[in-house]
Amino acid sequence: MRLLITEFQDFFDPSVPGLGVLRLPTGYGKTELFLQFAEMTCNGNIERAVYVSPLRTLNEDLYRKLAERVPCLRENSDILAREYMERRESPFFHKKVIVTTIDTIGMHLHKIPIPELKALLRGFFKKDFSTRGHYPVSRSNVSESLVFIDEPHLMVLEKGMKQMFYNTLYYLLGTGATVVLASATIPGSMISNAKKLLETTRDMLKIDIKYTECLYGEKCGEADGRDEDFEEKALAKRVSISMSESLDDSLSLAIKRKREGKRVLIILNTRETVLKAQRKLLELGERPILLHGLLSKNDREERTSELLDMYKRGESYIALATSVVEAGIDISSDFMVAELSPLPSLIQRAGRLLRKDEDVDGELVILITERRGPYDAKEVEATKDLLVERLNRVALKAPLGKEGKIGYMKLVEEWDGLMRSDEEHIQYRKDILSLSPRDQPLNINDFLTGELGRRIVSINAFIEGRRGDSVSIPVQDLFAYPKDRLLNEIRNIETCREEGKVLSKEEFINKIEAMLSREKSIEKVNLYLKENCIESISISEDLYADIAYGGR
């Protein structure tokens, strides 16, 4: 356990209501702390430990570590659970150690328990509120927990997600949970917002909530917040940084480095660009390990295991991915191509370069394109401007920098200062603390219209010939394919309609195509899917292969 993790443990009490902020460098082992908290549930020191992240890759990686490295969880796997999307292992948060997402825990705390979503939506559309669900159970269980929120800055990139995050944080603080916010790149503005919310909660509810922080380079308990041994190793790392405007040139250099025995990681902003890069690599005789958000559950697990196995064996490879590998997969690379993205995201990506203490020499190529992908254009442009101005003075692996060099933590703070408004008003819903179900219809409406949670509307698609294997596909990606192909390769529509009421493929496709051509199409599609109780579809292997791999 590293020095400052131990220091944080000495002054942070996980058994009392409180808020802890942990801002420590990439590769420092912040999630190791959660393994300690998980073990504390077994000896009764804390009631429950809940890990919350924005990424399934983070969740799956942590789940593996918990199952392998925490003795009491190895001996009794029944107390460990995953609770998100296709993983439903503790529906009302009863188990002792739970790995979940901000979306899942947020829905429960907003009185929309996911196991009962179908019944709640049916009542919402029929204006029949006789069924409210068992949200008091999951809310109560979460309130008794230590809740470790990893990479919280990635949870506020959309308006609806930002609303969900701050509502969730307010509920946790107001009901006596113990909360830890942890990241290498959590901006000062988010820390400031969390502290404001803490003070508001204290004043409003007249309760004592302890605040502790461990901020690298500033303070960590009684210590000065520095780890000289870690800094010495970080400063010893030599990273050559360059910019390129050519994807083809970057890929050619990546192939050269891989054939020299290097481990290569290429991180691009969108699936479309990843598939374009894959085609080019295949043409040049290289088969990359592909990772992105539209791989099926089984394919994602197979590709991740393949990558981890090659890494552990010390083999060279080319891994080609979207932002799903920014955090969570415990690998390192010697050569990286990273497409330009907001600075915190770019720093997270660079955290997969020379990640281990023994890794010393590496290269980073920042790919500059006109595409901004899913990111805010202002944030990407500010990142570009900072890097162009400071590229030769950035100490990429050193959090605080060195003589004449700027550390990445300082650079993130400078970037955050450019992004934040003078007085950001935190939006949160006070009624989330109420036990009454009166606000439940409002919460459901906000969820359906994208005011609460993600605005992306996805549909679960089972793949023909693969027993139980599925992928969640954004509706806009699915309907980018021609209508004739969808009619041929969507096999059937699964609904929870009353027996005898069947939804045809033609009706389904025509309705959604019409809605996607209008204003507020996402909200309308979401309402249509939920009102018609469309649970999933099944698709052909060929259509899935096209979506996931660009065809085979």
Pairing of the two strands 210-215 and 335-339: unpaired
Fold observed for domain 3-226: Rossmann fold (3.40.50)
Q: What is the pLDDT of residues 34-50, one digit of tens each?
A: 999 999 999 999 999 99
Q: What is the pLDDT of residues 409-418, one digit of tens each?
A: 999 999 988 8
Please give the average per-residue pLDDT across 332-345, as a whole number.
94
Bridge partners (DSSP) listed for residue 128: none
Residue 142 backbone dihedrals phi, psi, to 5 degrees? -65, -40
Fold match, 3-226 / 230-419: yes
Q: What is the pLDDT of residues 470-514, one digit of tens each?
A: 999 999 999 999 999 999 999 999 887 555 456 889 999 999 999
What is the per-residue pLDDT for 442? 93
Q: Does the pLDDT value for residue 150 go beyond 50?
A: yes
Q: How is the chain split into domains, by residue range?
A: 3-226, 230-419, 457-549
Bridge partners (DSSP) listed for residue 23: 215
Q: Give me the DSSP letters along 237-279.
A: -EEEEEEES-HHHHHHHHHHHHHTT-EEEEE-SSHHHHHHHHH
Phi-psi label, residue 78: left if phi above 0, alpha if psi -120 to 50, beta otherwise: alpha
Residues 132, 127: Cα–Cα separation, whole Å:
12
pLDDT band for position 392 (50/70/90)?
confident
Residues 341, 375: Cα–Cα separation, whole Å:
7
The residue among 368 and 57 whose pLDDT is bigger is 368
Query: Both tokens of residue 227?
Result: 């780890």
What is the per-residue pLDDT for 535? 85
Given CATH 3.40.50.11540, say whether it is the number of domain 230-419.
no
What is the per-residue pLDDT for 497? 58
Bridge partners (DSSP) listed for residue 241: 364
Query: Both tokens of residue 382?
Result: 């500010």
Q: What is the pTM of this model?
A: 0.91
pLDDT band for position 247 (50/70/90)?
very high
Tokens 């603390």 correspond to: 433
pLDDT band for position 439 (50/70/90)?
very high
pLDDT band for position 420 (50/70/90)?
confident
**Mean pLDDT, the chain, as a whole number?**
91
Pairing of the two strands 80-84 and 97-101: parallel
Query: Both tokens of residue 237?
Result: 């790392």
Q: How many CB atoms lie within 10 A of CB 311?
A: 18
What is the per-residue pLDDT for 31? 85
DSSP 503: -
Q: Is 458 helix (H, G, I), strand (E, B) or coil?
A: strand
Q: Is 201 helix (H, G, I), strand (E, B) or coil?
A: helix
What is the per-residue pLDDT for 422? 44
Bridge partners (DSSP) listed for residue 260: none
Q: What is the pLDDT of residues 178-195, one digit of tens each?
A: 999 999 999 898 999 999
Q: Does the pLDDT value for residue 101 go beyond 90?
A: yes
Please give the average per-residue pLDDT across 359-367, as a whole number.
94
C-alpha distances out from residue 444 to 439, 449, 451, 521, Å: 9, 9, 10, 18
What is the per-residue pLDDT for 552? 58
